[in-house]
């Protein structure tokens, strides 16, 4: 692998956003994901290689470590932030079509629920896996999900809930999505959920953590 890509991989895995950030302490004063991405582009490394050889593998490694309880939410969020900074350099290439997305993913926290950490983490991990993410935010009404799906035909939909009191609000959302587009794939996630619950409301999949969601989405990628 190109030396710059190796350094970029290390920065994303460690959560080194840019040279100005003091975290992690052992990398203080060193360039971060921001600088290494720009340098790689300046030196002619293709955006496709930056995405496929550095950013996606780094976030896969982060997700694996999270699943194995070797890191926790704060470390995962800072790695996702480093990845997001790097992705800002690549967005012009997505817009021109030089770099292809795996697909489009619509995500939101179901209406009545104001929690966003899990949703944000999933959105950043999924973007880091090469998907275009449409983040609808929190307390998302059914019609907002369906309107987004009409605008982004062929997208996969993710619905999040953190509370037992709001998880049942997923049922009308899934029902409405399937009514307007029966083939649309829907995945649900959140602390109180289970695979059995996902099946009971008509969802296609359940993810107990972002990494599981990424793995499932990648089975759908075109």
Return the CATH number at 160: 3.40.50.280
- Whether 45 and 111 share a structural domain: no
Domain end among 77, 96, 115: 96
pTM of the model: 0.83
- Whether 23 and 121 share a structural domain: no
**Whether the predicted pLDDT of 199 surpasses 80:** yes
Q: Are 129 and 218 in contact (CB under 8 A)?
A: yes
199-220 in b/e form (b: 16+ CB < 10 A) is: eebebbbbbebbbbbbebbbee
Secondary structure (3-state) at 38: helix
Mean per-residue pLDDT over the chain, rounded: 93
| Average pLDDT, integer, range 63-73 | 88
- Whether 212 and 109 share a structural domain: yes
Domain end among 96, 127, 150: 96
Show the domain range for 35.
3-96
- Whether 216 and 122 share a structural domain: yes
Q: For residue range 166-194, what is the model confidence (pLDDT) as tens digits?
A: 999 999 999 999 999 999 999 999 989 99
Give the C-alpha separation, 148 to 75, whole Å: 31
- Whether 82 and 125 share a structural domain: no
Q: For residue range 97-145, what is the model confidence (pLDDT) as tens digits?
A: 888 889 999 999 999 999 998 899 899 889 888 899 999 999 999 999 9
- Whether 83 and 9 share a structural domain: yes
**Whether the predicted pLDDT of 221 surpasses 80:** no
**Whether the predicted pLDDT of 222 surpasses 70:** no
What per-residue confidence (pLDDT) applies to 205? 97
What per-residue confidence (pLDDT) applies to 94? 85
- Whether 79 and 108 share a structural domain: no
Count of helices and strands (H, E) across the chain: 11, 5
- Whether 210 and 118 share a structural domain: yes
Percent of the chain with pLDDT over 90: 78
Return the CATH number at 80: 1.10.1240.10
- Whether 110 and 67 share a structural domain: no
Burial of 95 (0-12, 13-18, 19+ CB in 10 A): exposed
Domain end among 96, 130, 151: 96
Q: How far is CA 108 from CA 7, 11, 13, 173, 200, in A?
A: 33, 28, 26, 11, 20
User: What is the total count of domains within the chain?
Assistant: 2
- Whether 18 and 71 share a structural domain: yes
- Whether 91 and 185 share a structural domain: no
Give the C-alpha separation, 148 to 180, whole Å: 12
Instruction: Tell me the β-bridge partners of 121.
Output: none
- Whether 215 and 122 share a structural domain: yes
């Amino acid at each position: 692998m190109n030396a710059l890509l190796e350094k970029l991989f290390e920065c994303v895995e460690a959560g080194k956003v840019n040279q100005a950030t003091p975290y992690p302490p052992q990398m203080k004063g060193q360039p971060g994901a921001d600088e290494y991405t720009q340098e790689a582009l300046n030196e002619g490394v293709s955006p496709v290689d930056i995405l496929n050889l550095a950013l996606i593998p780094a976030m896969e490694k982060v997700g694996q470590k999270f699943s194995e309880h070797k890191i926790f939410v704060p470390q995962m969020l800072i790695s996702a932030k480093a990845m997001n900074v790097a992705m800002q350099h690549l967005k012009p290439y997505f817009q021109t079509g030089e770099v292809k997305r795996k697909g489009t993913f619509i995500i939101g926290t179901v209406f009545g629920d104001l929690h966003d950490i899990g949703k944000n983490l999933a959105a950043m991990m999924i973007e880091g896996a090469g998907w275009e993410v449409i983040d609808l935010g929190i307390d998302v009404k059914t019609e907002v999900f369906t309107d987004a799906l009409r605008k982004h035909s062929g997208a996969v939909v993710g619905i999040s809930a953190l509370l037992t009191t709001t998880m049942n609000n997923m049922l009308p959302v899934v029902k409405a999505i399937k009514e307007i587009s029966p083939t649309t794939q829907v995945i649900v996630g959140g602390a109180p959920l289970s695979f059995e619950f996902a099946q009971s409301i008509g969802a296609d999949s359940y993810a107990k953590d972002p990494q599981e969601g990424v793995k499932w989405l990648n089975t759908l990628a075109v």
